[in-house]
Amino acid sequence: MSFERRARWMMAQLGRKPGRHSSEDLLLDVADVTDAVGGHWEKLDGRTWRTGEGDREAPWAQRARGMASVTAWRSFGNKAESRWIWCQVVPLASASDVGAAARDIADKAIPNRSAKVKLVSTREIEVAELSGAVFLFGREQQTAGSTGAGFSYLLGFGVGSVLAVVSYSGTTTLGDAVAVADALSWRVQERHEGIADEADDE
C-alpha cells in the first residue's frame, strides 16, 4: 500500500460514519467463529472506514462514496493453537460493483500483524461452492514460523451487493477457511437489507 493510499485510508477511519453500526452487524463475532471451526477464540481488533476513499477514481468507489458506504473489519485470535482470522464486509451500490471492487481489494487487504511468519509460497485457488455466495477470488500462502509450517487463506466472495472477505492463517486448512466464509455469507444474508429483494429480482 502506497503512502498516499494509506494516508487516505487512515483519514477514512476518522470523523462521522453513519452506517458504521449496520456494517459491523454483518461481521462474525466470537460465537460465530467458534461454531464454525471450534477452539477458543477472542476478538483482537475492529475497524471501520468510509468505503472508496483509497480508490477515488474507480467508478465502484465513487458510487460507494455516493451511498455513504462504510467498510467494517474485525480480527480474532486463537493463540493456544496459533490461528488467526479476520473478516471484512464492503456494502456496495450493486452486485456488479462487487466484482469490480474485488479485483482491487484482493491485493490490498489488511494483513494480520499478530501472525509472525515468513512467506514460503503463494498460489491462486478456487472454491467450488459457498453458501448463498458468488466466489470471486482465493489465495493460499504457505508460511513458516516459530510454531512450524502453516497456511494462510484469503477468500473473497459476493453476497448480493456486499463484498465479503475472510482470511484464516496459522495451523489451518482450506476446509476451515471455507467454513468461516460460509458462516460470514449466512450472516450477511440474514442481516443485510436488500439481500432478499435482490434474490427475488433474479
Domain hosting 119: range is 3-201
- Average model confidence (pLDDT) across the chain: 83
How would you list the strands of the sheet with 148-159, edge to edge?
A: 42-50, 70-78, 83-91, 162-170, 148-159, 134-145, 117-124
> What's the structural domain count of the chain?
1
Q: How many CB atoms lie within 10 A of CB 31?
A: 9
Determine phi and psi for 42, rounding to 5 degrees. -140, 150
Say which CATH number the domain at 70 has: 3.40.1000.70
Q: What are the pLDDT digits (tens) for 80-89?
A: 998 999 999 9
User: Span 126-152, mean pLDDT?
Assistant: 84
- pLDDT number for residue 132: 87
Q: Which of 85, 9, 10 is nearest to 40 (CA)?
A: 85
Q: Are strands 42-50 and 70-78 parallel, antiparallel or unpaired?
A: antiparallel
User: Span 64-77, mean pLDDT?
Assistant: 93
- pLDDT number for residue 197: 42
In the structure, what pLDDT confidence band is assigned to residue 196 with cuts at 50, 70 and 90? very low
What residues form DSSP beta bridges with 77? Answer: 42, 84
Q: Which of 184, 150, 146, 152 is nearest to 165 (CA)?
A: 184
In the structure, what pLDDT confidence band is assigned to residue 7 with cuts at 50, 70 and 90? low
- pLDDT number for residue 8: 54
User: Span 125-154, mean pLDDT?
Assistant: 85
Counting residues of the chain whose pLDDT is more than 90, the rounded percentage is: 53
Grid coordinates standing for 126? 478456487
Return the higher-pLDDT residue of 116 and 60.
60
Residue in this structure with the C-alpha cell 460460509, named with its chain if needed:
182
